[in-house]
Amino acid sequence: MPSSTNPIPIRTDLVIRPPPGENGQTASSSPKSSAVHGTRHKHTRSSYSEGSPLAAMSRNNSLSFRPLKRSTPSPDKTIAVINASGRQAASLIRIATAVGYKVRAQLRNLEGVIATEVATNPNVTVIVGELYLRNKPDDKRDVTVHGPLPGILVNHSLISQLFDGAQLAFINTTFYGNEIQIGEAIADAAKRAGVQHYVYSSMPDHAAYNPEWPSLPLWAAKHEAEEYVRKIGLPSTFVYTGIYNNNFTSLLYPLFCMELKPDGSFEWQAPFHPNAKLPWLDAEHDVGPAIIQVFKDGPSKWNGRRIALAYEYLTPLEACEAFERGVGRRVRYKRGPIKLRVKIPEGYRAQLEALEKLFSLSNNDPTRQPPYFGDLELERKCPEDALALWEGPRGLEEYAREIFPLEEEANGMTWMFTDESGPTTFESTAEANEGVAGHEDEGEDGDDDSVDEGLIMRGLKRDEESWLA
C-alpha cells in the first residue's frame, strides 16, 4: 500500500477499536479501548469474514496454537528476484532468508524503507538498476505505456547478473519498460543459467478466454510473457494473485480509495458488481509462505500449472462488511466509475480504463461479470489451491483491524486516535490530501521525469512496486 511493506513500529498510543458486536456496537464493555503493545487482541469472533471459506475451516491460522515443528536443514539454494521492493517479492524475501535461502534481488533504486530492508539483509545480494535502458540519456518519455517503445531497450547485462549462481527464481514483472520484452529476456537468462524452478507472477488476458471481453493491457503483457516461458520449456509455475488487502487506503489513489467521510465512516467506490465474488489476498503476509511451499514441492508437482493465490472469495459487499468488523467503523460500498484524482503513470491509466470496460457498470447481472482470473476453472479452485500451500493467511477483517490503521498513520492520517467518545482528531480524506491538485501537472512538459516515477502525493513519491507488484 502507499507506505511500505515493511512492518511499521507499533506506537503505544495508537488505539485500535475492538470488533463491533452484533448490534454494531463495539464488543468490548470496557469504557476505554486497549492500547496496542505488540500483542494480538483476544476476540471471540474469527478474524475472517463469515462469508469466507476460511471461517468454516478447522485449521491452524494466525490466531490459533501452532505445535512445534521438526527442525529442518537450511536450504542450500539461491532465489533470483526482481522488483524486490514490491509487496510480493518483499514478502518472499523475508520468509526465504529467514529459513535459510540466499537471494539475489534486483532493485530499481535504494530509496524507501523496503529497499533499505532488502539491501541490509545479510542473506541478500542486491543488484541496483532498471530492467530497461534508454537509448538516449535525455529521453524523458513515459516508459509505462503498453506496446512498442522505440529507443527503450532491455538491460540484458543486469538480468544476466541476477541469475549468477541462482537455482530458483520468483519473477513479478511490472510495466516499467516493455514488459513483454523484459519478461522474455528474464526467462531466456533463467534458462541459460539452468534455473531449476521458475515461478512467474502472471495475470490473464481476458480476451484469450472470451473475445467479447477486453484485454487489460498490463495483465495481457504478463499473459504473453507466461506463454513465452511455456514455449521455451522452463520448469515453471504461474501464480495469479487476487486483489491485495493492502491496496486499500484513504488517500485519493484510484480504484481502492477507502474514502473517509465527514461522519467518520469509509466508502469504497469501484465498478465491480456488488454481488459478484472477487479473490482477495494479503500480499505482504501470505505470498512469501505460499511461494516457499511451491519451491519445496518443486516442479514435479507444479510444473506448468496455474495457481489462484487468493485466500478469500468475497463480493464487494462482503469485503466491506469484513473491513467494517475489523476497523470498527461503518464501511459502505458504492458501485461507480473509477475516480482519477491524482497523477498516475500512463500505463496504469490505460489499465484502469480497460478495467472499467471489462467490469462494466451497465451489467446488472452478477453471474455475467467476467471472472477476475479470466479462467473459470482457476476461480473454482479459489481459495483451495492457496490453502493447500499455506494455512495461516491474514484475512481482510484481520488486516483492517491490525494493519490498516498502522499504514494509515504512516501516511499522516489521524482518524485512528480515539477515546470512548469517538475520534479526538478528525481528518477527512479530502483534508488529508490537501494540495494534491498542485502536483497533478508535474512532469507534463517532459522536463521532469516524475511521470516515470509513479504517483505524486503531498510532495512524496509513492513506491510504485508496492502498489503494482
Q: Which three cell numbers stand for residue 186?
A: 528474464
| Run of H or E residues at 197 | strand 197-202
Q: Whats the size of the chain, residue-wise? A: 469
User: What is the structure's pLDDT at 147?
Assistant: 81
Q: Minimal CA–CA distance to 241: which of 389, 417, 446, 430? A: 389
Q: Where are the beta strands (DSSP E) in 24-179?
A: 78-81, 102-107, 124-128, 132-134, 152-154, 168-171
User: What is the structure's pLDDT at 424?
Assistant: 36
CB 409 within 8 A of CB 14: yes
The pLDDT tens digits of the residues spanning 161-198 come to 999 999 999 999 999 999 999 999 999 999 999 999 99
Angle at which helices 346-358 and 217-231 cross, to 10°: 90
Residues in Cβ contact with 160 at an 8 Å cutoff, skipping those fewer than 6 apart: 189, 192
Q: Which residue has the cell 509513492?
A: 462
- Give how far Cα 59 sits from Cα of 54, 69, 173, 285, 320, Å: 9, 15, 33, 17, 25
Q: Which three cell numbers stand for residue 68?
A: 512445534
Residues in Cβ contact with 180 at an 8 Å cutoff, skipping those fewer than 6 apart: 221, 224, 225, 228
Buried/exposed 206-225: b ≥16 CB within 10 Å, e otherwise: bbebeeebbbbbbbbbbbbb
β-strands 197-202, 258-260 pairing? unpaired
User: What is the structure's pLDDT at 469?
Assistant: 55
Q: Which three cell numbers stand for residue 250?
A: 484513504
Q: Which residue has the cell 462494466?
A: 360
Q: Minimal CA–CA distance to 279: which of 364, 395, 401? A: 395
User: What is the structure's pLDDT at 317?
Assistant: 98
Which parts of the chain register pLDDT below 50? 1-17, 19-20, 22-64, 419-432, 434-462, 464-467
Pick the CATH number of 53-61+73-468 from 3.40.50.300, 1.10.510.10, 3.20.20.370, 3.40.50.720: 3.40.50.720
Alpha-carbon distance 358 to 408, whole Å? Answer: 30
H helix intervals, 298-425: 299-302, 316-327, 346-358, 376-380, 384-389, 396-402, 404-410
Domain ranges of the chain: 53-61+73-468
Alpha-carbon distance 220 to 238, whole Å? Answer: 14
* DSSP β-bridge partners for residue 457: 460
User: What is the structure's pLDDT at 137?
Assistant: 84
